[in-house]
Amino acid sequence: MGPAAVARAAAVGGATLLALAASSTSSGPAASCSRGGACEVAKETALIQFRHITARNAKRSTSTFNRFCGIAVNRENGNEYDTKDLESAVNIVGVEGLWHYNWRMSTDVHVPGVLFVPMIKEPGHTLGVSVSELPTANENGVGTVVKGWNEPDDPGQAGHDYKLRSGPEAFAQKWTDDMNVAASKGYTEFIGPAMAHDVCWLDHFLKACETTAGCPEKVTYLAFHRYRNDCDSYKASPDNIGWRSDLGYILSYYRLMEKYNRRNTGFQIRGLVWDEIGCFENDYSTFAAEQDQLKYINEWYVKTLLAVKAGDEVISAAIRSTPWIMPVGPDAHAGEYALGKCKAIDGGANAGEEALQAIRSLVSVAWFSISPALNHLWIGGEGGDGLSSLGKAYFNACKGGFGASDVSVAPSETPSEAIIDEPVSSEPTLVTEAPSDVVTELDGKTVRLVSAETGRELYANELNWGAGFGGRTPTGDESGFWKFTRVATGAFRIVNAAHERTLYAAPGYTGAERVGAGTPSYVGWDGNWTVYPQGDSKIKLVNVVSDRTLYDDGTVGATANHAGMWIVQVSAVTTTPPATTSAAASTSEASSAPTPETLDGGVFWIHNAQSGRYLYADPAQNWFRGFGARDTPDSSCAWKFIRRSDGSFRILNNASDRTLYAATGYTADERIGAGTSSYVGSDGNWNVEQSGAGFTFMNARSARGLYDNKYVGANHEPSSAGIWNLVPPSDMTTTTTTTPTTTTTVATTSTTTTTMSVTTVLPSSGLTLDGAVVRIVNAATNARLFALATGNWHFDFGAAVNAADESASWKLTKQADGTYRIATVDAGRELYAAPGNVGTASVGAGNPVGTDGAWQIESLGGDHYRLTNVESTRRLKIDGTAVAADIGATGDEAAWLLEPDVTDTPPVSLDGALVTITNVASSRRLFARPDSDLTSAFGANPATEVLGPEGEWKLTRQADGSYRIVNPASDRSLYADSTMMWNDGVGAGLTVALDGDWSLVDQGGSRYRLVGQHNSRTLYAQVGKTGIDGVGAGVNNFIGDDGIWAIAPVAI
């Protein structure tokens, strides 16, 4: 992006070695092992091998770019970035693992050993400094790596040259010329043009490069940038659209690398460089808050990128099985390049596996660090020394992944002789003595942790997260025992032995905030702790990700650089946890009949009373595969029951750690199975009820009851096939399979749905609701519901007074049961409000949508209606300016007018008309003068100053109902570039493609909104400005009256 264009951009909205390390842990036995145990051994072995090979090759190779931890930073926005800042990063990462760049050829920030990578920012120069001024390689902290053009696909960066942005194939020779100059100065590795977003631009550039002499060998790495505006809700989960989008994005570049390397035209691309990454606010107005940046680091950088590289099979399995991983296309060899043509395409059946390979091919990632207290990695400002919370999280993460320690070890040629370094911390008060026997013996042991300051023991009871967690006077109760398990990086996971809650301290907080113990499968890398011995059986616990030290001063908390210490009660260390109450704990207990109250922690075979078969989940497979019921039980038939705080259960397969689920909106054997525990949501929660001698299992979210009738399924009324026996595995030899004689009624959820009076006629129009196209207008605010075709789910969804194009037109379709589906006319996005949520959570418009897309429409009298979601019973409403849904919502905020949409198209009589186009709010009239092109001699001036042909436009209606708007005097067509936004890319051109097609949305009284037919950009002219200043096109629902134009015929 480049710091100089941040404001404008905000408005717009070694690889082989890494692959070897990751691939060695993503196949074979590791793929089928459960959490911990063998998996950790496999990952640790792979990491040792990775470090050994990397260190060995680092000594042999002349390549200097073996550094994963990068920084994109410049002295800007008052951050006062300097050498002291860089030194504070070195204190964590080390010099060998770190590199930085500043979008320039030189820097005054130097730390010996840290690599500075200069940039040739655009063809021929950097900010006016000729490429010939590039510094000599291997001098003054510069290595042999050089970065190429910065965002040639973006108008705010190198792409301000329209010819470069619109014609990538014409610039392959210029790239070769620039890189040849670099080669003459000693550079040997060339990072390709860094893309802002348009993968297709790079594809067409490489297509031309392969036929340009000397070009292929001047592209060593492919580079790209990525900024998200949803970091506040981002999650490393297959059901998160942002996560899937990131997977599709990196997959796109990986496929380019593979494609051109296979073509045997001279390319030897070594990997991918992600050299700008960060977060914006939802509306792209500014950088996101630091806590949102931290969330993205944790969910994407740590839980996804680093986890895959470390061989984490849980996240790898989730990526393999994730649907809708969509790269972009079309392929450059299928046609010519055109702006705005690059779109998401089907990734194919192997997209998940290829996405894993794409992540493994990442050579480096560089965080975009500019604004203090937002995305800057340092405190910044005058006198603001030291790392920010964001910086501590980032540098600790990339250190823990593939940072300096990975390349600084120089073991012998035998991988088994390699040593995993002990974690390093920048905390100045830590004792640096060698680990004591206490620390060495902790792995696999269960101990008490007693505060050296207060004498209280750490505990976690049957609740979760921050609840039921803290310090207390030692009691001897089991909830005060903690099991230490060492992971591949040398850190520890610390899990409460009685309640299986994992200790964590989230980044970006301090004190008692976000410190606690939670469900192991939902605790990420902020559940990893470095143990520092302090002597006399005392230790410090420092969180690997957040750098927070655990303490108890009367309240348990975690703060960076705290003096808190804990006494490890060695006498309490045992090889097994204290005995816990379990239905399967002893022969006598196992023989007694279990009840829902005694299930928690128990392991049972789930045996169907009617079919006599046993539920199973194969450890080698996932989701619906390898799931069902079989006649003879084995280890895959054992299931563990974990009670949640609401009384429902998570049911985990004991052999595979797969969690039983039944998704909402389906029936029978559709979307039922057992999947990776950390990726199964609330449809993995089950209500277990006693039914005679057996049990029923009713999904707490989908209300589907588990049954076995030739196949395993889940219906709302499963009948007698839904009765199950719970058999402790040790009782198998005495188990009978007789069906209980008691007649049983399967329990259902207690939610009562009120039957509503559904009005089927719109009083104001006489139209029936079924099939009607309407505007949905809130009675309290007059805001119209909209869902843009460019988004999905909660993205580009909301309500605005000025929403007027097809994104605010909704079609009502009546279902057989009398409910309605409500979908946008243009994109078919269906309105939904998911159960189990409140307010703005999980309300939006998507495609496809399940049963939470069914609505009851209740007349409130007159033209007002109430919209109630059938599944969740949540009523649609406006909360401030946001669309929300709550159970029992009342008042005008929850009342909606259904206005017939009669403004689909402007009058056909406009076809062929010669008109003037004058902005209603600013009284500025569009003009275009002859002998110019694009944005030159184009704009909007006061109507009194625009006279004659320059202000006249001819409207020509096309077959699809859109219009071409052409100035006859200059033969220039009005356009809005699909790849840009707001004040960029609006003008009148001599040669205009699809960006010159406009929808005229009638506002009444010969007034219209001019909306791009193919890009949904709405034309505006701001008040108080002239010429091209303040003329632009953006998102319709954020544009007021300055987006309305009066169209008047020219008197002849």
- How do 69-73 and 362-369 pair as beta strands? parallel
Closest listed residue to residue 304, CA positions, set 225, 246, 375: 246
Q: How confident is the model at residue 6 (pLDDT cuts 50, 70, 90)?
A: very low
Read off the pLDDT band of 1052 (50, 70, 90).
low
Beta carbons within 8 Å of 1007's beta carbon, 6+ residues apart: 920, 1044, 1045, 1046, 1047
Angle at CA of residue 672, ends 614 and 840, nearest 5°: 140
> Distance of CA 338 to CAs 204, 329, 993, Å?
10, 12, 9
Amino acid at 839: G
pLDDT band at residue 576 under the 50/70/90 scheme: very low
Q: Is the pLDDT of residue 851 over 70?
A: yes
Percent of the chain with pLDDT over 70: 80
**Alpha-carbon span 144 to 183, nearest angstrom:** 9
Compute the mean pLDDT over every residue in the chain, rounded to the nearest whole number. 79
Neighbours of 771 (CB within 10 A): 10
Positive/negative CA dihedral, 1038, 1039, 1041, 1046: negative
The answer to whether the CB of 602 falls within 8 A of the CB of 500 is no
Torsion of CA 292, 297, 299, 300, to 10 degrees: 120
pLDDT score for 122: 95
∠ at Cα 255 (250, 259), nearest 5°? 155
Q: Is the pLDDT of residue 903 over 60?
A: no
> Which of 464 and 40 is assigned the larger pLDDT?
464
Q: How confident is the model at residue 612 (pLDDT cuts 50, 70, 90)?
A: confident
DSSP assigned state of 297: I
Neighbours of 433 (CB within 10 A): 10
| Phi, psi angles (nearest 5°) of residue 593 | -70, 130
Mean pLDDT, residues 864-876 taken together: 88
Task: Please report the pLDDT score of residue 421 as a whole number.
Answer: 28
Q: Which of 997, 928, 940 is nearest to 968 (CA)?
A: 928
Residue with tokens 């960006």: 995
CB 380, CB 388: distance < 8 Å: yes
Q: How confident is the model at residue 211 (pLDDT cuts 50, 70, 90)?
A: very high
pLDDT(318) > 70: yes
d(CA 269, CA 858): 61
Q: What is the pLDDT of residue 1038?
A: 67
Residues near 266 by beta carbon (within 8 Å), at least 6 away in sequence: 210, 215, 216, 217
Strand 98-101 relative to strand 69-73, pairing: parallel
Question: Is residue 598 classed exposed, middle or buried when 0-12, 13-18 and 19+ CB atoms within 10 A define those classes?
Answer: middle
Name the residue with tokens 């100045």. 428
Q: Comparing C-alpha atoms, which of 572, 471, 569, 407 is closest to residue 60?
A: 407
Q: Tell me the average pLDDT across 192-201.
A: 96
3-state secondary structure 513-543: CCEEEECHHHCCHHHEEEEEEEECCEEEEEE
**pLDDT band at 528, cuts 50/70/90?**
confident
- Cα-based angle 653, 503, 297 (whole degrees, multiple of 5): 90
Is residue 802 very low, low, confident or very high in pLDDT (cuts 50, 70, 90)?
A: low
Q: How far is CA 831 from the centre of its chain?
A: 22
Whether residue 330 is preceded by a cis peptide bond, meaning omega within 30 degrees of 0, is yes
- Whether the pLDDT of residue 416 is over 80: the answer is no
Q: How far apart are CA 557 and CA 110, in angstroms?
A: 37
Helix (H, G, I), strand (E, B) or coil at 385: coil
Two tokens at 134? 């590039």
* Nearest in space to 367 (alpha carbons), one of 15, 64, 98: 98
Question: What residues have CB less than 8 Å from 417, skipping those under 6 apart?
Answer: 52, 411
The answer to whether 654 and 603 are in contact (CB under 8 A) is: yes
pLDDT of 23 strictly over 50:
no
Residue 594, φ and ψ in degrees, nearest 5 = -70, 155
* The 3-state secondary structure of 298-334, one letter per residue: HHHHHHHHHHHHCCCHHHHHHHHCCCCCCCEECCHHH
Q: What tokens does 906 get? A: 């402007």
The number of beta carbons lying within 10 Å of the beta carbon of residue 816 is 5
Diameter of the chain by CA atoms? Answer: 102
| Sequence-ordered strand ranges (E) for 506-613 | 515-518, 528-535, 538-543, 549-552, 556-559, 566-568, 603-608
The rounded radius of gyration (Å) of the Cα atoms in the chain is: 31
The model's pLDDT over 638-687, given as tens digits with 9 standing for 90+, comes to 999 988 767 888 898 988 888 998 887 777 777 798 887 656 777 788 99
Nearest of 1032, 911, 934 to residue 987 by alpha carbon: 934
pLDDT at 7 over 50: no
**Whether the predicted pLDDT of 993 surpasses 90:** no
pLDDT for 29 equals 26
- pLDDT tens for each residue of 244-261: 999 999 999 999 999 999
**Among 94-98, 381-385, 437-441, 456-460, whose mean pLDDT is lowest?**
437-441
Instruction: Note the pLDDT tens digit of each residue in 950-990.
Output: 999 999 988 777 899 999 999 999 999 877 778 888 999 99
pLDDT in tens, 340-361: 888 888 888 889 999 999 999 9
What is the rounded average pLDDT of the residues 491-512? 87
Q: Give 741-781 pLDDT, tens digit per residue.
A: 332 222 223 333 333 333 333 333 334 677 788 889 888 88
Whether 195 and 245 have beta carbons less than 8 Å apart is answered as no
On the question of pLDDT at 1019 being above 80, the answer is yes
* pLDDT at residue 256, rounded to an integer: 96
So what's the pLDDT on residue 592?
53
Please check whether residue 777 is in contact with residue 897, taking contact to mean a CB–CB distance below 8 angstroms: yes
Q: What 3-state DSSP class applies to 169?
A: helix
Alpha-carbon distances of 403 from 66, 98, 364, 414, rounded to whole Å: 9, 7, 10, 22
Burial of 1007 (0-12, 13-18, 19+ CB in 10 A): middle
Q: What is the mean pLDDT of residues 166-173?
A: 95
Please state the rounded mean pLDDT for residues 107-135. 95
pLDDT reported for residue 465:
80
> Residues 453-459: what's their mean pLDDT?
93
Directed axis angle between helix 15-23 and helix 38-60, to 10°?
A: 160
Strands 528-535 and 492-496: antiparallel
Closest Cα to residue 993, out of 1019, 962, 1020, 1021?
962
Res. 62: pLDDT tops 50:
no
What pLDDT is stored for residue 8 in this prediction?
34
**Does the pTM of the predicted model rise above 0.75?**
no
d(CA 1017, CA 65): 42
- Note whether 541 and 553 are within 8 A (CB): no
Phi, psi dihedrals of residue 938, rounded to the nearest 5°: -140, 150
Check if the beta carbon of residue 241 is closer than 8 Å to that of residue 247. Answer: no
Residues in a beta bridge with 614: 607, 630
For residue 503, the cross-strand partners are: 517
CB 182 within 8 A of CB 219: no
Are the C-beta atoms of 354 and 254 separated by less than 8 Å? Answer: yes
* 184 against 592, higher pLDDT: 184
Distance CA 74, CA 100 (A): 10
Instruction: Check residue 668 and give its pLDDT.
Output: 77
CA distance linking residue 70 with residue 752, whole number of Å: 55
pLDDT higher at 173 or 485: 173
CA angle (899 as vertex; 895, 900 as ends), nearest 5: 150
Per-residue pLDDT tens digits for 905-940: 444 468 888 999 999 888 899 999 998 888 889 999
